[in-house]
Structures are given as structure tokens and as C-alpha cells.
Amino acid sequence: MSESIQLHLLQPGQRGTIAKVNSTGALRRRFVEMGIVKGEMILLERHAPLGDPMAYFIKGYHLALRKEEAAQIEVILG
């Protein structure tokens, strides 16, 4: 099993499988509500000009996340 990296470190066009969500409380709940759950495939589409926020593609829709939020999510490449 390959090592996980933080979601915000993906390159545009790169995809990963969610391995762990490190946040707690309201943010974690929101993540789950938006489909960010373990085992789900997520793709970084592109980021805003200054690199934040970032546009991801998950469960058939687009989701924008702040860098600091994305950093709390661990993914395994591929």
C-alpha cells in the first residue's frame, strides 16, 4: 500500500483515493455530507490563480475547497 499525501498536494489532473479525513466536528460532518468519505475517488481539476481555493471533482460534481481544508484530507495516489 502506497503512502498517503495531503489532498492539496495533488497536481491538477491528478487523482487520488481518500484514505483519511483528519478533521473533527462540524467540518468533518460537512466533508461527509459533501461526499468526502474514505475510499472515494477525488480529482484535482485546477486551482485559483493564487493556488487557493482549489476545484476538485468528486461523486460526479465539482467542489471547491480551501487549501487548509484540503490539507486535512489524506489521499492515496491513483
What residues line the site for other proteins (CB under 8 A)?
26, 29-30, 33-35, 59-61
Q: Which is nearer to other proteins, 35 or 53 (CB)?
A: 35
Q: Which is nearer to other proteins, 3 or 33 (CB)?
A: 33
Q: Locate cell 498517503: which residue? A: 4
Distance from C-alpha of 55 to C-alpha of 58, rounded to nearest angstrom = 10
Cell of 36: 468526502
Minimum CB–partner distance for residue 1 and other proteins (Å): 26
CA atoms 2, 55, 30, 59: torsion sign: negative
Minimum CB–partner distance for residue 35 and other proteins (Å): 5
